[in-house]
Chain A
Amino acid sequence: MASGEKRVEIEKELSFGPVHPALIEPYRIRLFVNDEIVEDCELNINMAYRGIEKLFDGLPVERALLIAERVCGICSHVHAWNAVRVIEGGLSIVVPPRANYIRVLTNEMQRITSHLILFGHAFEVVGHETFAMRSFLLRESFMDLISYVGGNRVMPSVPIIGGVRPRADLTESLKRVILERVDEFEEKYKGYVTRIIEDPLVMSRLTGIGFLTKEDAVRFYATGPTGRASGWDYDVRTKMDEYKPFEFNVITDESCDTKARIVVRALEIFESLKIIRQVVKSLPEGPVVNQSWKAEEMDFTTAYLEAYRGELMHSYALDSHGRIRNYKIRTPTPTNLAAMEHACVGDHVTEAILTIASCDPCLTCCTRAEVVDSGRSRILSDFEIVQKYGWRK
């Protein structure tokens, strides 16, 4: 290879998916490799396209929450919460502080389960079954807590417009259970993290691969733990009113590699535990839901929230009948995808898949059609696609 010249010749292409052990959701990885080294990567994510944004159009806003929660099964609470935050912001609905506390509590509990899924998945990809199983076992204690609060392990449906469901109100006994479980969990989890960090084989697999520099992270807008592992201390939680009463640190790591992305998430769980303790100990008394609101015409409103994988945006407008118009969701994964594709270049094939997994892709959230036209890319609305190409029937 000539000095400074980028090698462009590509020997072959390896493609995996959509049904494959390394992927927990339908997408397709196309790796362009020379021998075993990945030269370029292309992620095709449109296998999960369900046309969600279009479904919202014309639905009464209360019913739309049902769909919003089912945008993603791992971060169901964030989507439901952010959907209600839009209308609460747009129509200035006052949310009782107790409801906000409970929403934060559920959010942090689900953040822990989400990060533990990542560990389970990442260690499955590393090939270390024991750590993966330990992670899933640890996760169970928080799945139980979520089902105690919301009644379902996966879709707790805690937030409703103006507060939380009365069923999700915390009783004294539940508070005690949560504190006990959190203590128990923290002890076990510390041992788990120590064992990971002290395992030389696992660490040799994780370190030194999948570099994503801070400049690249900012350029691709890789938010969430992926960006924070590159030293970019961007966390929407620091700007949110709901998180004002609580004290927590934003974890960043300067080492920019796959290990950093795992470590950042591992340490974030401790911060989440801290927040959960604060919520339960300083839970204010009062009602949990404010029902004195009425759906009326609302201008296009946007709400941002720190989901478990990065910044999440929901925005919609309401027409004069209180029906939803122009629902737009931007999940963290589309921006993180570009970062993933960039980060896995130059690694071994097996490591490239680990890098992609360590960015925690959650592609079911949102997929869009995109027309790439001579270098300029443009996002088409569903209507335009239908007009131009017709239904794919």
Chain B
Amino acid sequence: MNLKATSRKNAIHIMVAYTGGCNGCDIEIVNAVLSPRYDVEQYRVLLTWNPREADVLIVSGVVTWQMVEPLKKIYESIPEPKGVVAVGACAVNGNVYKNLVGDIGQNEEIWAPVETVIPVDVKVPGCAPRPEDVITGVVKALPKILEAP
């Protein structure tokens, strides 16, 4: 393996963008990062809040109207190569907010899934996914980043 791929494999910066879910996934992601029980840092994954520094963007939540532009902007601000992980049922298919609606027939307040806004590489289903699943999702996004020029 060449130096480029090795360096990319050994330092992965993740950024979390929450786009209006119910908070459950956000907390589980933060859990995966912060809780000493899961501790992603031992897998060479570091948390950042600055899109300029990030490699992998973790998106959670249904994308509400007001979050569409910020999400696009965050995605654009990440330098190539980059990967996107959609975490949670909301980000993957809209969950109950999209699929369980009453008389109004269609929920026009949300843009879920995230795929309609930015390209998604890995989907982590679950409501809410366990921290282990989140870590697995980040690892699955790696091959694309490693192989990029």
Interchain CB contact under 8 A, B21 and A117: no
| B104 and A70 contacting across the interface, CB-CB below 8 Å | no
B23 with A19: CB separation less than 8 A: no
Shortest CB distance B117–A (Å): 14
Given contacts A56-B102, A67-B96, contact A362 B35 (CB under 8 A): no
- CB pair B107–A73 under 8 Å, yes or no, is no
Q: Which residue of B lies closest to A323 (CB)?
A: B102
A190 CB contacts on chain B under 8 angstroms: none
| CB-defined contacts of B30 to chain A, threshold 8 Å | 24, 120, 136
Range of interface residues on B (Cβ < 8 Å): 35 or more
Which of A73, A76, A137, A324 counts the most B-chain CB atoms under 10 A from its CB?
A: A73
Residue B66 CB within 8 A of the other chain = yes
Q: Do B104 and A55 touch across chains, with their CB atoms under 8 A apart?
A: yes
Are B49 and A55 in contact (CB-based, < 8 A)? no
A325 CB → nearest B CB, Å: 9
Those 8 A-B pairs whose CB atoms lie nearest each other, nearest first: A73-B24, A58-B102, A58-B103, A73-B23, A51-B109, A136-B35, A73-B22, A154-B128
With beta carbons under 8 angstroms apart, the residue of B65, B95, B100, B109 that contacts A63 is B100
B interface vs A, CB < 8 Å?
A: 16-28, 30-31, 34-37, 49, 61-62, 64-67, 70, 74, 95-97, 100-104, 107-110, 127-128, 130
Report the interface size class on chain A.
Answer: 35 or more
The answer to whether A70 and B34 touch across the interface, beta carbons within 8 angstroms, is no
B102 touches A26 (CB 8 A): no
Q: List 25 A-B contacts (CB under 8 A).
A: A18-B18, A19-B16, A24-B23, A25-B23, A26-B18, A26-B66, A26-B67, A47-B64, A49-B64, A49-B109, A52-B97, A55-B102, A66-B100, A70-B97, A71-B22, A72-B22, A117-B27, A136-B36, A139-B31, A139-B35, A143-B31, A154-B27, A154-B127, A362-B23, A391-B108
